[in-house]
Amino acid sequence: MVHPLRDKAAVSGIGETAYTRGTTKSGLALQLEASLKALDDAGIHPRDVDGVIPYFPGGAIAEDFIANLGLKDLTLSAFIPMGGATCTAAIQMAAMAVTTGVCKHVLISVGRTGYSGSRVSTRLQQFPVFAQAAEFEAPIGMFAPAQLYAQGARRHMELYGTTARQFAEVAVVTRQHAILNGNVVMNKPLTVEDHHASRMISDPFRLFDCSLESDGGAAVIVSATERAKDLRKPLVTIAGVAEGHPDSPASIAQRPDILEFGLVKSAPRAYAMAGVGPKDIDVAEIYDCFTFTVIRQLEILGFCKTGEGGPFVMDGRIALGGELPINTHGGLLSQGHVVGLNHVIELTRQLRGEAGKAQVKDAETGLVTGYGDMGDGSIAILRRAA
Amino acid sequence: MSQAPAPAAPPAPERPLPTPTRESQTYWDGMREGRFLLQYCSSCGRVRHYPRPVCPHCFSMESEFREAPLGGSLHAWTVCHHPFNFFFKASAPYIVALVDMDAGVRVNAQLHGIPESELKIGRRVKLGFEPVNKEVTLPVFVAE
């Protein structure tokens, strides 16, 4: 049986601000600026938005959208507290809302002052899921994601021989793609030597294995496919979408396998919903909070076997022109950190044929992942309408 | 010309400390007494960590804390160089080891006395106790 959500909803509008280090704007203003751009991109009047899913905790609540956009009858207001998995998980909720008729157009937005506002260790104290880490791990000197996720990366290296050279490849290729995009924080070439010479943050993660602390806003509109057909831009449908939560979700330490993320559960569901497999994917925007996180997700997504993610990223395979181009916009590592909503935006551009110098030729089907909050994993498979 | 007053020294950074919950208080009390107390289900007998109200295997809400063995083997580790919390700046770099305890749970704690070059998965270590003030003692790993 065809899944009732397959292709029934679409990404109808996308918008983003400049990605910078330093801004005088609030997180709310950044979200609203991106939202207005996304509405204009879709050709939707702001008053026609009837669902909002702002990033939590991102400095905006549904009431802000009612007040600023003059929304007259909001029918859905939700937060999805899944850290980096939030934005792609929000695609699932939005698709459910527009497919069932609860909403016409759902706005998903992120506004972040990760550089000019509070930094990661402070922000995380607002996350309920970090309560156990705060009690049991912060006192021993481990709380930031770079520390919490480093143990898994080290274990992968020890078990499978994954190397820092392979981590560097992810960083270098991502930077090449960022330079083609232009709206990025990091716009200078990066070499393997630069990566290896960057300071150690939490072994095995060096500075250039880590995503950026940056400022910026991003927004996406999800509409029913029936409505989106008549909107401004080429139709990009949501073929499959899913969220997944790992066992022992709030404590990596107690997880039976510390290398099993929520994506282990969500990826098979999304592929089945879309009726496609890894071989059908033309381009992939993989949540890249850390270089290693990309390598491990490529394994979980079935592009290679567990343990083979390191060799998989080498030899140009993940670069534009390669077998599986990834993070064609520069990702969180080089473009900017808006919790992966920039990945959804880039995939939509690729499938519309609007990706400029980074365009993957004839991209028809692509996927985007989210990863966060200790390992929640979300995935959306989008495709260009035939 | 008058000299600008010297800036006041910034307050010394404080170590983040656990805030025990009703569920975890006994675990931390044990630490303070130098005992590794783990929570066991009173119904099916299985251990669970971190402490929580319901046994995820049999859903019993009855449990008891018992002293558990201190040995374990290394599951993974990281060497923390960047002090995300300034308290740890003076002691960085330090090793945080994730250990498969013989008791059947994992514990994360700093590892003292074993150089990074000697770390490998499966290496035996032992849990010890490091008082940080009158109320709080933290686990620490040392060579077995």
Please give the average per-residue pLDDT across A323-352, as a whole number. Answer: 98
Q: Convert the pLDDT of each residue in B89-116 to its tens digit.
A: 999 999 999 999 999 999 999 999 999 9
Which residues of chain B approach chain A closer than 8 Å at the C-beta?
A: 15-21, 24, 49-50, 75-85, 87-88, 91, 93-94, 96, 98, 105-110, 116, 120-121, 132, 136, 138-139
- In angstroms, the Cα distances linking A298 to A102, A117, A278, A369 are 35, 32, 10, 10
Return the HEC string of A124-156: HCCCHHHHHHHHHCHHHCCCCHHHHCHHHHHHH
**Which range has the worst mean pLDDT, A10-19, A128-137, A213-222?**
A128-137
Structure-token pair, residue A377 = 């994993």
Instruction: Kindly state whether A159 is in contact with chain B, defined as any CB-CB distance less than 8 angstroms.
Output: yes
Where does the pLDDT of residue B11 fall: very low under 50, low under 70, confident under 90, or very high at 90 and above? Answer: confident
Please give the average per-residue pLDDT across B16-28, as a whole number. Answer: 96
On the question of pLDDT at A122 being above 80, the answer is no
Where does the pLDDT of residue A77 fall: very low under 50, low under 70, confident under 90, or very high at 90 and above? Answer: very high
On the question of pLDDT at A64 being above 90, the answer is yes
**pTM (2 decimals)?**
0.96
How high does pLDDT run on average in chain A? 96
Question: Quick check: A155 and B120 CB within 8 A?
Answer: no
Please give the average per-residue pLDDT across A183-196, as a whole number. Answer: 98
Most distant CA pair in chain A: distance in Å? 57
Q: Convert the pLDDT of each residue in A133-155 to its tens digit.
A: 999 999 999 999 999 999 999 99
| ipTM of the complex in this document | 0.94
On the question of pLDDT at B2 being above 80, the answer is no
- Mention the CATH class of domain B70-144: mainly beta
Where does the pLDDT of residue B5 fall: very low under 50, low under 70, confident under 90, or very high at 90 and above? Answer: low
Of the candidates A371, A339, A349, the one whose C-alpha atom is nearest the C-alpha of residue A111 is A339
Question: Could you tell me which chain B residue has the CA closest to the CA of A255?
Answer: B106
Interface of A with B in 312-351 (CB under 8 A): none
Chain B partners within 8 Å of A134 (Cβ): 16, 19
Chain A partners within 8 Å of B81 (Cβ): 199-203
Structure-token pair, residue A256 = 């039976």
What pLDDT does residue B87 have? 93
CA distance A244 to B16: 31
Distance from CA of A201 to the nearest CA of B (A): 5
Nearest CB to B50: which of A158, A204, A254?
A: A254
Please give the average per-residue pLDDT across B120-136, as a whole number. Answer: 97
CA distance A313 to A279: 16
CA distance A105 to A71: 12
- In angstroms, the Cα distances linking A149 to A92, A343, B77, B108 are 26, 21, 10, 13
Give the SS3 label for residue A110. strand
Interface of A with B in 187-226 (CB under 8 A): 199-204
Question: Quick check: B50 and A138 CB within 8 A?
Answer: no
Question: Could you tell me which chain A residue has the CA closest to the CA of B49?
Answer: A254
Where does the pLDDT of residue B3 fall: very low under 50, low under 70, confident under 90, or very high at 90 and above? Answer: low
Please give the average per-residue pLDDT across B9-30, as a whole number. Answer: 91
Domain spans of chain A? 9-117+211-384
Chain A partners within 8 Å of B107 (Cβ): 253
Amino acid at A326: I
Question: Quick check: B76 and A152 CB within 8 A?
Answer: yes
Nearest CB to A201: which of B16, B75, B81?
A: B81
Residue that is written with structure tokens 């044990």 in the block: B30
Q: Convert the pLDDT of each residue in A91-110 to its tens digit.
A: 999 999 999 999 999 999 99
Instruction: Kindly state whether A144 is in contact with chain B, defined as any CB-CB distance less than 8 angstroms.
Output: yes
Q: Which one-letter DSSP state was computed for residue B45?
A: -
Domain spans of chain B? 21-68, 70-144
What pLDDT does residue A373 have? 92
What pLDDT does residue B1 have? 47
- Beta bridge mates, B72: B101, B125
How high does pLDDT run on average in chain B? 94
Q: Number of helices (H) and strands (E), helices first, in chain A?
A: 14, 11
Chain A partners within 8 Å of B84 (Cβ): 120-121, 143-144, 146-147
What pLDDT does residue B4 have? 62
Nearest CB to A147: which of B18, B78, B136?
A: B78
Helical (H) or strand (E) element with A157 = helix A150-160
What pLDDT does residue A117 have? 86
The domain at A9-117+211-384 falls in which architecture? 3-Layer(aba) Sandwich (3.40)
Mutate to test the interface with B, among A130, A132, A136 (most CBs of B within 10 A): A136
Structure-token pair, residue A200 = 């150690």
C-beta separation of A108 from A223 below 8 A: no
Q: Which one-letter DSSP state was computed for residue B7?
A: P
On the question of pLDDT at A5 being above 50, the answer is yes
Distance from CA of B67 to the nearest CA of A (A): 18
What pLDDT does residue B14 have? 87
Please give the average per-residue pLDDT across A36-47, as a whole number. Answer: 97
DSSP result, A17-59: ---BS--SS-HHHHHHHHHHHHHHHHT--GGG--EEEE-TTSS
Distance from CA of B90 to the nearest CA of A (A): 12
